């Protein structure tokens, strides 16, 4: 019933937080089948009669509680289920009793003055997550620009026949120009960029057990970032069919199918220079067509686009074990950059560097 990880199937899942406290508000650890349970995913089907299903887990001994200071192990006396935004909270009450805590560690008699703090990878990941939650693409862009390589070229000033540059006297007589010593920022031509945003039902699911942010919200955020950095862009959403979009905020995750293959057929008509695909772990799915046929067609079109000079970036907000062959076929193409964006392994940091490299290429 409770799942630690979900596949990117077009089904609705909810994020559930499970807590257990006694009458003194002491927090207990909850275990399901011997593994710690704090947050998990719950399908829409399992949401029905949730309380009776939890009672069955308790009665069968599969769901248990523990505490390192437990003195008298009691039973779970009540179950409360509440809704807090995108999160479902299951609050258990127990009549267990705890031993008295030992004396707390005394603080040091002197203060430690630390003047410099290292910027941890974890802290940067938390900052990026906060920017996504607060919907602040501009600060994310500033962070992106701070790690982007500086692109400069040597500036050239016209030679008027009289003035000699005080530092450099190197002149090109054939062109009557003089090189100045300073460097100026080089402005690149904007690339024609197509953005494809997945609007299938699975994009409405939470991004991870520890972040109740729906995948579609992260997708919209990334679209706004790319649109701010690549002004010559065109946005499409794809689900059962491809659709042109005026604003990423209007895209809702409601479609029962995921047809990236149809969206790629639309892309070919625009002759893009760059293509960004934002999807979950299953970019192709249809109830009427086999996955093998859809994935082969999708891989063929992506390969064809990349061979024609289109630089492709695919951002996946999930990873399905039964699609490993599909991912491997994408990764084997040198012109396709694939980012598996998850809360684990600091993938938000990888996203930052990958976006910077892709957009500055």
pLDDT tens digits for 38-82?
888 888 888 888 888 899 999 998 999 999 888 888 889 999 988
CA–CA distance, 185 with 161 (Å, rounded to integer): 27
Class of domain 193-360: alpha beta
Predicted local distance difference test score (pLDDT) of residue 12:
83
Both tokens of 170, joined, read 């190197």
Q: What is the pLDDT of residues 153-164, one digit of tens each?
A: 545 555 555 555
Question: What sign does the dihedral 141-143-148-153 (CA atoms) show?
Answer: positive
Q: Which two tokens stand for residue 17?
A: 């937080």
Q: Would you give per-residue pLDDT tens digits along the chain (361 residues)?
A: 788 777 777 778 888 899 999 988 899 999 998 888 888 888 888 888 888 889 999 999 899 999 988 888 888 999 998 887 778 899 999 999 988 877 666 665 656 565 555 556 777 778 888 888 888 888 888 888 877 765 555 455 555 555 554 444 444 444 444 444 444 455 556 788 999 999 999 898 888 777 778 899 999 999 999 998 888 899 999 999 999 999 999 999 999 889 999 999 988 888 899 999 999 878 888 888 888 888 888 888 988 898 888 999 999 887 777 777 777 877 777 778 888 876 665 577 778 888 887 777 6
End-to-end C-alpha distance for the chain, whole angstroms:
46
Q: From residue 22, how far is each of 2, 95, 114, 174, 248 by CA, in Å? A: 23, 6, 39, 88, 46
Q: What is the CB neighbour count within 10 angstroms for residue 74?
A: 12
Domain ranges of the chain: 13-98, 152-185, 193-360
pLDDT for 234: 93
Nearest to 324 by CA among 359, 284, 265, 281: 281
Instruction: Give the per-residue SS3 of the chain.
Output: CCECCCCCCCCCEEEEEEEEECCCCCEEEEEECCEECCEEEEEHHHHCCHHHHHHHHHHCCCEEEECCCEEECCCEEEEEEEEECCEEEEEEEECCEECCCCCCCCCCCCCCCCCCCCCCHHHHHHHHHHHHHCCCHHHHHHHHHHHCCCCEEEEEEECCCCCCCCCCCCEECCCCEEEEEEEEECCCCCCCEEEEEECEHHHHCEEECCEEEEHHHHHHHHHHHHHHHCCCEEEEEECCCEEECCCHHHCCCCECCEEHHHHHHHHHCCCCCEEEEEECCCCEECCCCCHHHHHHHHHHHHHHHHHCCCEEEEEECCCCHHHHHHHHHHHCCCCEEEEECCCHHHHHHHHHHHHHHHHHC
Residue whose entry in the numeric block shows the structure tokens 């895209």: 251
Close Cβ partners of 139 (under 8 Å, ≥ 6 residues apart): 131
């Amino acid at each position: 019933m409770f799942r630690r990880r979900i596949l990117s199937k077009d089904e609705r899942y909810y994020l559930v937080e499970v807590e257990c406290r006694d009458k003194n508000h002491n927090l207990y650890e909850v275990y399901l089948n011997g593994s710690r349970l704090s947050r998990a995913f719950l399908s829409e089907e399992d949401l029905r009669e949730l309380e009776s299903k939890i009672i069955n887990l308790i009665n069968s001994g599969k769901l248990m509680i523990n505490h390192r200071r437990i003195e008298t192990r009691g039973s779970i006396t009540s179950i409360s289920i509440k809704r807090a935004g995108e999160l479902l909270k299951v609050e258990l009450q127990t009549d267990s009793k705890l031993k008295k805590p030992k004396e707390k560690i005394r603080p040091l008699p002197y203060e430690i003055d630390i003047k410099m703090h290292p910027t941890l990878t974890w802290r940067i990941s938390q900052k990026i997550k906060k920017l996504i939650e607060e919907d602040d693409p501009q600060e994310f862009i500033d962070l992106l620009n701070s790690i982007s390589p500086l692109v400069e070229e040597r500036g050239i000033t016209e030679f008027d026949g009289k003035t000699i540059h005080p530092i450099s006297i190197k002149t090109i007589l054939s062109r009557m120009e003089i090189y100045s010593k300073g460097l100026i920022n080089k402005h690149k031509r904007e690339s024609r960029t197509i953005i494809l945003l997945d609007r299938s039902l699975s994009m409405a699911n939470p991004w991870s057990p520890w972040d109740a942010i729906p995948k579609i919200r992260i997708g919209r955020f990334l679209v706004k970032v790319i649109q701010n950095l690549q002004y010559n862009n065109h946005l499409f959403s794809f689900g059962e069919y491809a659709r042109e979009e005026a604003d990423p905020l209007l895209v809702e995750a409601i479609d029962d199918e995921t047809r990236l293959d149809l969206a790629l057929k639309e892309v070919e008509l625009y002759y893009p220079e760059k293509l960004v695909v934002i999807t979950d772990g299953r970019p192709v799915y249809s109830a009427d067509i086999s996955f093998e046929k859809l994935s082969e067609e999708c891989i063929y079109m992506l390969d064809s686009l990349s061979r024609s000079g289109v630089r492709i970036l695919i951002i996946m907000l999930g990873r399905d074990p039964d699609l490993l062959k599909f991912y491997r076929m994408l990764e084997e193409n040198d012109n396709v950059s694939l980012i598996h964006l998850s809360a684990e392994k600091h993938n938000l940091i990888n996203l930052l560097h990958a976006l910077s490299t892709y957009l500055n290429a």
